[in-house]
A = this chain, B = another copy of it.
Amino acid sequence: MNAEIIAVGSELLTPQRLDTNSLFLTDQLNALGVEVVTKYVVGDDRDLLADTVRRAMARSRIVILSGGLGPTEDDVTRDAVALALDRKMVFHSEIADQLEQRFRQAGRKMAEVNRRQAFIIEGAEILPNDRGTAPGQWIDDSDVSIMLLPGPPHELKAMFTRQCLPRLERVVPQQVIRTLVFRVAGMAESDLDQTISPVYKKYNNPVTTILAGEGDIQVHLRARCSNEADAAALLAEVAGPIELLLGDRIYSRNGEPLEAIVGELLQKHHATLSVAESVTGGLLAQRITSVPGSSNYFLGGFITYSRKMKADLLGVSEDILAQHGAISKETAEAMAIGARRRTGSTFALSITGEAGPDPSENVPVGTMFVGLADASGTQVVHRQFFGDRPRIRVFATQMALDLLRKKCGLVGV
């Protein structure tokens, strides 16, 4: 079964913006065994959009539109689909009332223009939007299923998962899909591929995809079969050897990010964590606290951007700073020890380095020292990264989290 995805919005036709919703939607559709055959990006032009919808409907059984459901005159998706299907629009006062209530709860008066969002195409099912104001719509027209979804990714994802997936499972013929995602930190993509390609290259099913991020690689395996047992066996046939070859460089087998894995390990060991960051300026703490429930193990952190703050807040001695510089093994060590002492945490991570754009203290851009302190002592790892400022900062936090993972994973606390 085939699908087409239409992203709506003139802003998606500028040099600054890409439609990324289609990646999520494709992933979800593929998991049902549905292939995406064409993707479109169309501006806020009702007639052109209506024509695009007609074309997609002529070719595919599933048509998904994202965006253009907002309150402004630029938001033409409702009108365009109604035009394509030759159906009327119906005003739903209960939607308008809900919208008004939502605004009231936020202590604001609803702008009149928002009432546009209460128009629904005749015969459509309303898809509630609990993350935003624009409701979605699901329409069955002869043998085609058409979905109108909001553009903001967090609204679209929630609505698709809760409202569209259950409906699609009734429309799409059943297949069994089994997936597995290995995540690996601190390995170059080419090294990883060279290690595991002799295994996966022999198989068309499962499909193996390698995605490289900053200091982070994902290996996706997807097996499709007519029954559960075959899919599981096929997946194991490829995943087993890959797992053996990569060993403890694999940090996650379910797609979870490194910060979540580290959090689980800390909780398992009833351990707590604090951080002291210089060059990463809060990025490490931000990643750790992006995990819901991180308050169970994360005590707090220090961002010490200047030498004075390293001395005042963390107790890094003037001697160390003067003798070795703020970007040094010794300072990283003293920062980690200071953070641990001031918070009383089981572990403390520290990062000091230079992310650029300009070198400092005669240290080249990309130099990073990561410290890890616990009751048994302190270790410091030194690495040289390449790339721009945001990239180097992410690499450094990845290195810090992976250092802690290995410590927690290998040593009982």
Contacts and interface: CB of A to CB of B under 8 A. Distances in A.
Interface string A10-37: 1111111110100110110010000111
Interface string A384-408: 1011111101000000000000000
A52 B26 contact: no
A73 to B, nearest CB: 7
- Chain B CB count within 10 A is highest, among A42, A55, A305, A309, for A305
Contact of A72 (B13, B30, B193, B306): B193
A95 interface: no
Contacts of A108: 188
Interface stretch (A78-86, A138-146, A291-299): A291-299
Interface in A140-198: 152, 154, 188-191, 193-194, 197
Contact of A312 (B40, B71, B72, B342): B342
A410 interface: no
Contact of A154 (B45, B52, B152, B387): B387
A352 to B, nearest CB: 12
B312 A305 contact: no
Interface stretch (A223-231, A239-247, A262-270, A275-283): A275-283
Contacts of A209: 10-11, 14, 16
Contacts of A191: 111
A354 B284 CA distance: 20
A220 B281 contact: no
B288 A295 contact: no
A261 interface: no
B388 A193 contact: no
A202 interface: no
A288 B37 CA distance: 42
Given A20-B18, A114-B190, A386 B313 contact: no
- Chain B CB count within 10 A is highest, among A133, A209, A389, A393, for A209
Interface of A is mostly: mixed
A150 to B, nearest CB: 12
Nearest to A23: B15
Contacts of A11: 209-211, 220
A384 B106 contact: yes
A45 B60 CA distance: 14
A55 B51 CA distance: 10
A303 interface: yes
Interface string A97-141: 000000000111001111000000000000000010100000000
Interface in A361-405: 384, 386-391, 393
Contacts of A45: 37
Given A13-B37, A302-B302, A306-B299, A282 B289 contact: yes
Contact of A211 (B17, B275, B289, B313): B17
A249 interface: no
Contact of A18 (B18, B48, B52): B18
Contacts of A14: 26, 30, 209, 220
18 contacts: A11-B209, A13-B38, A14-B30, A15-B23, A107-B384, A111-B191, A113-B193, A154-B387, A154-B391, A275-B303, A281-B288, A281-B290, A282-B286, A282-B303, A283-B286, A285-B303, A289-B305, A294-B305
Given A133-B190, A300-B309, 12 more contacts: A11-B209, A13-B39, A14-B209, A71-B190, A73-B201, A113-B190, A131-B386, A286-B286, A292-B356, A301-B301, A301-B302, A302-B302
